[in-house]
Each structure stands twice: as structure tokens, then as C-alpha cells.
Amino acid sequence: MTLTLALREQPHARVWAQPLAPARLGALERSALAEVKLRCGREMVALGELFQISGTVDGELLLMGDLRRFDGIGAGLEEGRLVVEGPCGDHLGARMRGGEIEVRGGAGDWAGAAMEGGLLRIHGDAGVRLGGAYPGARAGMSGGEIALIGDAGEEAGAGMRRGLVVIGGRAGAGAGLRMLAGTVIALGGLGPEAGFGNRRGSLVSAAAHRPLPGYELAASYRPPALALQLRRACALGLEVDERLLKARWVRWAGDFAELGRGEILILEEEGR
Amino acid sequence: MSGYTLGATTVADSFAEAFPMRYARLLLTAADPGWAQEAARSATGFATSVIGCKVEAAIERTLPAAQTPDGRPGVAVLLFAMDRESLAKRALERVGQCVMTCPTTACFDGLPGAERRVPLGASLRYFGDGYQASKVIAGRRLWRVPVMEGEFLVSDTLGVEAGVGGGNLVIGAAEEQDALRAASAAVEAMRGEGVALPFPGGIVRSGSKVGAQRYRSLPASTNHQLAPTLRAQVPDTLVPEGVNALFEIVIDGVSEEAVREAMRRGLHAASAAGATHITAANFGGRLGPYHFPLAELREAQ
């Protein structure tokens, strides 16, 4: 039976929940489990005070409740599966390196920030800098996959170096800001000013989008890699219209204010 | 000659002798089945024997769109060589010259789980002259090489596994057309997953032996023991009386079992199609460690 942590009541301050990792908790006896300390505001609070604990870790950890005051859930995760039934706070899966996080609810800001590997799947909306870079860091996400079945806030994929971000809804303004490489797909369309300073990254908009002046129209074609990425998005649980798999996409190359090896692909019927 | 009979077919008490090889599987896809076939035919051309072509290759099977990585019609191709390094060179040449050049194609690795890998797109990407780009999709790196039509998508590496090369059947009859009909039926029955029949139409009429009696520099020469026209002048001929034409089917497989079962299917199909004599080529056990006695293939299963 999966180890389940059901939230008793809302904490009085924000909680840093990074210690809630399946591998770490799975190595503990039940008595020790309840005594795991989490930072809650200026205090350290025992896990047993915050959550009702049941089951045992079988590689999976289930968190239940409204966890919007819990930051850093799954941050730095390396293995195992973490499922959250409810919304999460900020820094969900930040710097995660492996394993899988599935959230059946929304996520706050910095979800998947500086992520290095693994899979982050969110059935809801996410805040700003999804898969983005932390302030001062040149590179953001450097590996792994993020599947967001909802809308993303501003600057999704900012500074991204590698990996795949698929947004089922719309991406907020500034997606792919100073992107180094990697792919951000917005099935509901990209917001304004996408791809500013993009070096080699790929931004994809399945809705009308007006690229920044640093982009030049190249061609209309069927990108074979995009078809594979869209199929991958299907496998990750996103609803991808069959027509997108066979559609032509308009390629805009840029940002010529930077290296200019990046691209924005816009669904042809929307792209000219 | 001892052996057994299968209907009207005499099956010799012989065995096929095979040897270890390394193989890779290419999954070639294209906008339609025709172009996928064109790419596969081109990539497997001039690849009948490692003796002269440095690689043995054949179409393994056609793949419906639902079974390919990009959801387009495809063809699986098997390439066999004597070692991994050689296989890497041959795969690179063939994908570069025959697949990348073919309209609408993409090339994927058919052995993604293989531990041993050789570069493919990792080398071919330089054709992109700096404009190439890579994408990692589901943990597999692919290269996007810009071409006049759009982009050629190719797997970064190819998996390589140990296979078996040189399984064979020799099918004969009194009349050439009867022997060819029987051999063709055998080919039809043998083709399938895990098997490559690298010769034209799967059939070779110029079966060879290792080395030569007269010309020491030759790596291979005609199998004089199985040449009907030499029957009267070769003391140790293996051509039975009344047999005037023989065809060989050479089988490379992904495993010993794949070769054995292909031989079994082929033997029974050839017998049913009118072969009067079936044997197998071997070199007294000196060529390779895999032996496939025809006696073990008696049951059709």
C-alpha cells in the first residue's frame, strides 16, 4: 500500500516540503517517519503533526490535501514516484533529477525550475517560470520533461538548456526567455514576446502568434521532430489534436538579436 | 547418402554451419509506404555477403504506421557485419547515401534497449554544416539535419547486438525452374522478424566455399562440390544423381533460434513446393560454432 500523507489542517505558515521524498521516507520506520521535521515559517514541525500517515512506501508517495502553502514538494527528487492529490505551492519539482511527480491540481511559481531529469506532470495551471532559471543562473531546465495540462504563467522555459515542456493550454508572456536550447510547446498558444534572446531553442505555438521582430520567416513544412514530440506529449497524458500531428508549421528563425539558431513554429493556418 | 525423406524430398544428413556476427536494426519511415520501400531497397543494395560487400543487409519486414516511432509507414532493415566497428561504418555509409538522400525519410534505431551502441546521427549530423540541431525525445537523442526538402531526422546512435550469420539451405531439383520455385517458396516462408536473407530475392546460385583450391589469394570460390556441371569431375561431389540445379538460401538471424526456425520453415516449404533434394553447406565445423543439423528440422512444428 502506498505511503499516504493526508493533510490534517492548513499550517500557520509556509512549509518547505523538500524532505517529502519517497526514497527518504521509505527508509524510515513509522515512528521515525512521524518525527521527520519540516520547516514551517520560523519553526520546525513534525510530519505527524501536519499529516495523517498511513500505508508504507512501495516506491510511491501520495500527498493529499490543499498544499498551496507547501513549497518545494519533490524538489531535488532523484527516484520514485510522488503523487499529489491537490494543488501545490512554489518550487514543485525544482532541480529534480529523476523519478516522477504527478500533481492532480495546480502548481505555484517555479515548478520544475532548473530541473535536470525525470517527469513532472501537472493536471492544472502553473505559475511563473515553469521549468525556468532561478535569478542569477544562466541556464534553467537542463533535462527531463514537464507536461502541464493547463495554462502556464509568464516566462515558462526561461533560460532552458535542454528538455521538453508541453503546455496543454496557453503559455504566459515571455515564454522561452533567453532560452539556450530545448523545446517549449504551447498547444493553446504562446503569449506575447515569446523567445526573446532565444539562442537555439524551439518554441511551438498551436495558436496564432506574432513573433518578435528578432525573428524571420523561413518556411512552412512538416517538422519530423515536432511530430515525435507531439506524440510524446500524447503519451504523457496531454490531449493533442490529431490534425497537429500531420499539420504544416511555419518556421520563424531567431532570435537574431542573439545567436539566431532558435525557432518558433506556428501552426500554418495560424502562422502567416 | 543417409538422411531422411520428406514427401518426395530427400533431405541429406548434413548441417548448416554459421558464425557470430554483429547486427543493427534500422527503422526507416517515410511519407508513404512506397518511399519507405525505396529507402530500404537502396540501403540494402550491394550487401549480399561480407566477403565482397563488407556487410550483409536485407529488409526484415514492413511496418504499419502504428508500429513506427513517428506514426508513418516504415520498413525494418537488418545489417550484419563481422564486428561493431565495421557495422558502424557500413551503417553510416548506407544511411548517409541511401536513406538521407531518399525523399521524406527518417531513420530510427530499431534496438533502443541495446547496451552497446555505435554512432549514426552523431556522425551524420556534420552534413548539416553547423545548421543541424538535436532533440532528446523520450530519452533518445535525434538529429535534425536540414535538407532541401525540410529536415532529415536520424537517431544519434544505433544499438548493436550479437547475431548469427551464415545459416543456409541448399535446395535442388532435376529442373532448374523446379528448384527455383522451391527455393522461392522457401524464401517466402523464411522471411520475417529477426531474419535477413541478404542475396537477390533471398536466393544465391553461386554458393561459395572458404578459400580456393587453385588461387590462394581468393577469400572464397565456387562451391565445386555442389556444382552439378562438375559432378563427373569432382570426386567428392555432393550433387546427387538426377539433380541438375541447386540454389542456396543464406540466412542471417538475430539469434540461433531465429536462424533455426527460419531454416525449419524454409525446408518444409521447399519440400512442399517440389524440391527433390535439400542439403546444407558446411565446412566440416571449422567455420563457426553454430551448427544446424537438418535432422533436427524434420518436424514442421
Does residue B125 share a domain with residue B187? no
The answer on B208 and B97 residing in a single domain is: no
Backbone angles phi, psi at B58, to 5 degrees: -160, 160
pLDDT in tens, A174-225: 999 999 999 999 999 999 999 999 999 999 999 999 999 999 999 999 999 9
CB distance A224–B136 less than 8 Å? no
Query: What's the whole-number average pLDDT of chain B?
Result: 96
**Rounded to the nearest 5°, which phi and psi values hold at B262?**
-65, -40
Tell me which chain A residues have a C-beta less than 8 angstroms from the C-beta of B133.
Answer: 181, 200, 202, 261
Distance (Å) from the C-alpha of residue B155 to the closest C-alpha of chain A?
A: 11
Residues of A in contact with B69 (CB under 8 A): 228, 231
Cα–Cα distance for residue pair A174/B1, rounded to 1 Å = 82
Confidence grade of residue B20 (pLDDT, cut at 50, 70, 90): very high
Whether residue B150 lies within 8 A of chain A, CB to CB, comes out as: yes
Nearest CB to A224 within list B133, B136, B153 = B153
Residues with Cβ within 8 Å of residue A158, at least 6 apart in sequence: A129, A132, A133, A140, A174, A175, A176, A177, A178, A179
Q: What is the pLDDT of residue A139?
A: 93
Question: Of B102, B130, B161, which one is at a domain's C-terminal end?
Answer: B161
Based on the structure, what is the number of domains in chain B?
2
β-strands B9-12, B277-279: how paired? parallel
Cα–Cα nearest to A83, from A62, A100, A104, A98: A62
| Interface residue B133 vs chain A (CB under 8 A) | yes
The answer to whether B253 contacts chain A (CB < 8 Å) is no
Q: Nearest Cα to A243, choosing from A218, A265, A267?
A: A267
- Considering the domain architecture, whether residues B26 and B155 belong to the same structural domain is answered as yes
Residue listed under C-alpha cell 505558515: A13
Q: B80 and B55 in contact (C-beta within 8 Å)? A: yes
What CATH number is associated with residue B30? 3.30.70.520
DSSP state of B225: G
Residues of A in Cβ contact (< 8 Å) with B150 = 219, 221-224
Q: Are residues B126 and B217 in the same domain?
A: no
Chain B residues touching residue A228 (CB < 8 angstroms): 69-70, 135, 137, 142, 153
DSSP conformation class of B239: P
CA distance B55 to chain A (A): 29
Say whether pLDDT at A16 is over 80.
yes
User: Which range is least confidently modeled, A200-204, B222-226, B285-289?
Assistant: B285-289
**Structural domain boundaries, residue B185:** 3-18+164-297
- Are A224 and B69 in contact (CB < 8 Å)? no
B27 and B150: one domain? Answer: yes
For chain A, say whether B151 makes contact (Cβ under 8 Å): yes
Residue B107: list chain A partners with CB under 8 A: none
Q: Does A248 touch chain B if contact means CB atoms closer than 8 Å? A: no
Task: Tell whether the model's pLDDT for residue B234 goes beyond 90.
Answer: yes
Query: What's the Rg (C-alpha) of chain A?
Result: 19
Give the pairing type, strands A60-64 and A81-85: parallel
Q: Which of residues 153-182 of B touch A (CB under 8 A)?
A: 153
Chain-centroid distance, C-alpha B74: 18
Domain boundary (B133, B161, B189) is at: B161
pLDDT at B301 over 80: no
Q: Give the pLDDT band (50/70/90) at residue A270.
A: low
- Chain centroid, CA A152 distance in Å: 9
**Which of A166, A179, A222, A228 is the best residue to mutate to test the B interface, defined by the most B CB atoms within 10 Å of its own CB?**
A228
Predicted confidence (pLDDT) per residue in A66-121, tens digit? 999 999 999 999 999 999 999 999 999 999 999 999 999 999 999 999 999 999 99
How many CB pairs below 8 Å do chains A and B form together?
A: 49
Give the H or E element holding residue B171. strand B161-173
Rounded Cα–Cα distance for residues B213 and B227 (Å): 15
Residue A224 touches partner B, C-beta closer than 8 Å: yes
Same domain, B155 and B171: no
Contacts of B136 (CB under 8 A, 6+ apart): A143, A162, A163, A164, B142
B12's CB contacts (< 8 A; 6+ apart) are: B1, B3, B238, B277, B278, B279, B280, B294
Q: Which amino acid is at B229?
A: T
Same domain, B63 and B8: no
pLDDT band with cut points at 50, 70 and 90 for residue B141: very high
Is pLDDT at A28 greater than 70 in this prediction? Answer: yes
B191 and B276 belong to one structural domain = yes
Task: List the grid coordinates of A179.
Answer: 532560452
Q: Give pLDDT tens digits for A195-204.
A: 999 999 999 9
Residues B178 and B108 in one domain: no
B101 Cβ partners below 8 Å, 6+ apart? none
Nearest C-alpha of chain B: how many angstroms from A97?
Answer: 13
Query: What ipTM was predicted for this assembly?
Result: 0.91
pLDDT given at position B159: 98
Res. A56: pLDDT tops 90 = no
pLDDT exceeds 80 at position A49: yes
A227 CB neighbours in chain B (<8 A) are 70-71
CB contact A243 to B (< 8 Å)? no
**Residues B113 and B237 placed together within one structural domain of the fold:** no
Same domain for B73 and B119? yes
pLDDT at A205: 98
Q: Write the Ramachandran bin of B291: left for phi over 0, alpha for psi from -120 to 50, otherwise beta.
A: beta
Distance, in angstroms, between A56 CA and closest chain B CA? 30
Q: What is the pLDDT of residues B85-138, one digit of tens each?
A: 999 999 999 999 999 999 999 999 999 999 999 999 999 999 999 999 999 999
Contacts of B138 in chain A (CB under 8 A): 232, 235
Please state, rounded to an integer, the average pLDDT across all residues of chain A. Answer: 95
Among the three residues B110, B129, B161, which one is the final residue of a domain in this structure?
Answer: B161
Residue A58's pLDDT is what? 82
Instruction: List residues bridging with B12 in a β-sheet.
Output: B3
Determine contact: A97 vs chain B, CB below 8 A: no
Confidence of residue B283 (pLDDT cuts 50, 70, 90): confident
Q: Which residue of A has its CA nearest to B146?
A: A223
Band of pLDDT at residue B10, cut at 50, 70 and 90? very high
**Which residues of chain B make contact with A202, given a CB cutoff of 8 A?**
133, 135
Chain A's closest residue to B136, CA to CA, is A163
Taking the Cβ of residue B27 and every Cβ of chain A, the question of whether any pair is shorter than 8 Å is answered with no
- Give the mean model confidence (pLDDT) for residues A123-140: 96
Asked if A225's CB is within 8 angstroms of B142's CB, the reply is yes
Average pLDDT of the residues in A110-138: 97
* Sign of the torsion angle spanned by Cα atoms B110, B114, B117, B122: positive
Residues B233 and B254 in one domain: yes
Q: B186: which residues sit within 8 A by CB, 6+ positions away?
A: B169, B171, B249, B265, B266, B267, B269, B270, B273, B275
The alpha carbon of residue A13 and the mean position of all alpha carbons in its chain are separated, in whole angstroms, by 25
| Cell numbers found for residue A213 | 521582430
